[in-house]
Structure 1
Amino acid sequence: MTTPWYATRESVMHALDSKLTARNAGQIDRALESASRDVEQLCHRRFYPELDTRSWDWPDSQSGTSWRLWLDDHEVISVTTLTSGGVTIASTDYFLEPNRSGPPYNRLEVDLASSAAFGGGDTHQRDITVVGLFGYRNDETTTGTITEALDSSETGVDVDGTAAALLGVGSVIRVDSERMLVTGRTMADTGQNLGGAGLTASNASVTVAVSDGTAFAVDEVILIESERMLIVDIAGNNLTVKRAWDGSVLAAHAAGVDIYALRTLTVTRGALGTTAATHSSSAPILRWDPPGPVRDLTIAEAVAQVTNELAGYARVRKSGDGGTSERATDATALKGLRDRVYASHGRKGRVRAV
């Protein structure tokens, strides 16, 4: 994954009620890549935040006024530096528009009460340059912390239980000023062991005793020997779990065995225009959150693709005369979701007067 997805592998697996295997993980990842790009094409915009430097001709063929620059599909969240003709325009001398509570901004306008102006370069080519955070919106949620110091070359990030429960393959995270793309998750030793009398090979044996329940989180997946379990509740130092999770086999476990959890993230470092850097232990992890309807449509598109692949893009049914016929999967609900997402988050065309 080199370009962000708008949903995680785990969210699609939950929607499909699918068990994790290398085969279906690859299939879901392909579907997520296609679904994310399809959503961008539908909405005519990219939603993820990206630090970048971009330039425009000035004057250009669409200049309606001498003081307004339309950004079109290069919407901006925030601007670090604006220059024109090699001259820096102060942040107090231009406006980000439209004038509302926040991004995305689709144009820059020079404050007519200032002395600033666009133009002045030797030629019109790439006269205006914007350094900033491009995209739709930078909504972030603090999910937890890293548990070990990280140098600039490591691709494995150890996280705490809270982060492990809230992140998945496809998440875009930020540690300090560096963004990373989560491309995989593996088990790590939690440093705790199964306490009490252990566990029997029964779905009713659901209490995992640990030495410190605060080190775990609800919805975290743990591994005891070869059995995966999902934490559904925590009371003191007792974890209530769902046994034989994710297609693993129900088994008995003796007290004292190690407890592992999905707490090592495989990441792409220095993503989306940022630079790989060193980070101290306990640095907070912030997860970028796509708009809810965009996430929902990405999941729906990915589920539809996986389902259609499994059905050979057709369903077979018996006809009235005892024969067979084929029909494509019913996509009525998916079309309705597409229409709603375009209405709420699609970038509409500009109307110009002549």
Structure 2
Amino acid sequence: MGAWYATREDVKSALDWAETSRSNARVDQAIEAASRWIEGFLHRRFYPELATRYFDFPDQYARPWRLWLDDSELISLTSISSGGTVLDPTTVLLEPNRSGPPYNRVELRIDTNSAFGGGQTTQRDVTITGLWGYSADDIAVTTAASAINSTATTLLVASSAGIGVGQLLRVGTERLTVTERTMAPTGQTLQQPLDALQKTVTVAVTDGTAFALDEVLLVDSERMLVVDIAGDQLTVKRAWDGSVLATHTGSAIYAPRKLTVTRGVLGTAAAAINQDATVYRWDVPGPVRTLCIAEALVTQLQQSSGYARTTGVGSSARQVGGGTVSKTQYGLSIESLREQVYTSHGRKARVRAV
């Protein structure tokens, strides 16, 4: 499983599918395929990865102080060396400085003594350690509800809102990938009975600050979506996610706050996580996330129809998803989205003189 640009919950919400293990596997497969396709289509990887990469010494007939990184885009620099000599970071310029990160080239200040070269060969002469990718922007979404050691693969969080399966998280310097969410006790119970009527949407709790908007709650066997919070009163959508309306009295309230995670991903090291440590969510660029959801939706709907989804008849028949039937294109909405995202986030080819 590589880094995803949308979560399982994003796609299932768009499809309005109920929670089942069977549909989860299909959605996960579609998101993985869409994420890898987007990387090929846009010619870049968007997620941040801490790594060391090697480059040949710049062509001596070009500008010897400039090193093009090509498809290895740099977010931030940790260290750089050439010919085994560590270069002073104050003599290194990351470019383009007006729009980066990401940076597509490294330059050495020509008013200093720093220089590339000096090794026994020009091959892999330059070594750069840093954070690679398009963006490392992240958002604080919750805190750890309990402490865990560096080998634990289950993380309890204070709120599950904004965290889905496939999400890339950061706690301290460690990055983690969410591979599953399961229900965990919130420590609270219903303070007033609920009848089995759709119009009954107010849930009284002990402490409303312990919940968040868009969090899914489980009361007995009924799921509810929190849409508003006023003090200790939660306004919810009943019978959410394919569950059934039911009566409830004094029932315990659960939420999907138990996360199964893969530790120390993308070049980071697993470390102990303290209780109340801030949990950050990597912020996927908006157009990229939208395109990933759209591509996963197309895959799901095409699979359901045996890749034969068409609209219209005869000479007006058109294939859904941008294909062709009778040389007539359809699916222009997703084609338009692809073009827009390529324009805003695609890596354009750089032509070198020969």
Q: Report the TM range for the smaller structure's normalisation.
A: over 0.9
Deviating 4+ runs (over 2 angstroms): 315-320, 324-328, 351-354
Name the counterpart of 1:275. Answer: 269
Among candidates 311, 322, 328, match of residue 319 of structure 2: 328
**Alignment correspondent of 2:84:** 86
Counterpart of 1:140? 138
Residue 340 of structure 1 is matched in structure 2 by 340
Deviation for aligned residue 1:91: 1.1
Q: Give the counterpart of 1:290 among 263, 284, 288.
A: 284
- Counterparts of 2:346 and 2:33, CA distance in 1: 18
User: What SS does the corresponding residue of 2:98 show, helix, strand or coil?
Assistant: coil
Q: Is 1:64 the counterpart of 2:55 in the alignment?
A: no
How far does the alpha carbon of each residue in 1:273-308 deviate from its partner, in whole angstroms, 9 at most, with x for none? 000110110000111111111111111100011011
The 5 A counterparts of 1:222-301 are 222-255=217-250, 257-301=251-295
Deviation at 1:21, TM superposition (A): 0.9
Q: Which amino acid aligns with 1:189?
A: P
For residue 80 of structure 1, give the secondary structure of its aligned residue in structure 2: strand
Higher alpha-carbon deviation: 329-338 or 259-268: 329-338
The answer as to whether partners of 2:204 and 2:233 remain within 8 angstroms in 1 is: yes
Q: Which amino acid aligns with 1:239?
A: L
Aligned residue number for residue 37 of structure 1: 36
Q: In the alignment, residue 311 of structure 1 is paired with which amino acid?
A: S
Deviations 1:91-122 (A, max 9, x none): 11110011215300000011101100000012
Q: Secondary structure at the match of 1:339?
A: helix
CA distance in 2, matches of 1:34, 1:331: 19
Question: 1:341 and 1:101 mapped to 2: Cα distance?
Answer: 18
**What residue is the counterpart of 1:157 in the other structure?**
155
Once the two structures are TM-superposed, the CA of residue 59 in structure 1 deviates from its matched residue by 4.3
Structure 1 unpaired stretches of 5+: none
Q: 1:106 to 1:318 in 2, by over 3 A?
A: closer
d(CA) in 1 for partners of 2:191 and 2:119?
Answer: 72
Q: Please report how far the alpha carbon of residue 205 of structure 1 lies from its aligned counterpart in structure 2 after TM superposition.
A: 1.6
1:202 to 174, 197, 204: 197
What's the CA shift for 1:352?
A: 2.7
From 298, 309, 312, give the equivalent of 2:303.
309
Say which SS state the counterpart of residue 294 (structure 2) adopts: helix
On the 8 A contact 2:310/2:319 being kept in 1, the answer is: no
The CA distance in 1 between the partners of 2:80 and 2:65, in whole Å, is 13
1:353 offset after TM fit, Å? 3.5
Q: Identity, % of aligned pairs?
A: 55
Q: Which residue of 2 aligns with 1:106?
A: 104
Kindly indicate whether the alpha-carbon contact (under 8 Å) linking 1:208 and 1:239 is maintained by their aligned counterparts in 2: yes
Q: Distance in 2 between matches of 1:282 and 1:102?
A: 33
Between stretches 72-81 and 331-340, larger displacement belongs to 331-340
- 8 Å CA contact retained: 1:315, 1:326: no
1:254 is displaced (CA, Å) by 1.2
RMSD: 1.7
SS of residue paired to 2:264: strand
Kindly report which structure 2 residues correspond to 1:11-26, keeping only aligned pairs within 5 A, or say none: 11-26=10-25
Quickly say closer, same or farther: Cα 1:63–1:246, change in 2 above 3 A. farther
How much does 1:316 deviate? Answer: 6.0
Tell me if structure 1 keeps the 8 A contact 2:158–2:210.
yes
Kindly indicate whether the alpha-carbon contact (under 8 Å) linking 2:312 and 2:318 is maintained by their aligned counterparts in 1: no
Cα separation, partners in 2 of 1:89 and 1:343, compared to 1, 3 Å: same
Residue of structure 1 in register with 2:4 after alignment: 5
Q: Distance in 1 between matches of 2:61 and 2:46?
A: 26
Match of 1:184 among 176, 180, 183: 180
The change in CA–CA distance for 1:183 and 1:81 in structure 2 (over 3 A counts) is: same
Contact 1:313 1:328 (8 Å CA) reproduced:
no
Offset from partner CA, 1:27-51 (integer Å, 9 cap, x none): 1111101111111111100000000
Query: Structure 2 CA distance, aligned partners of 1:232 and 1:205?
Result: 13
2:212 is aligned with what amino acid? A
Gaps of 5+ in 2: 321-329
Q: Is the 2:311–2:319 Cα contact (8 Å) retained in structure 1?
A: no
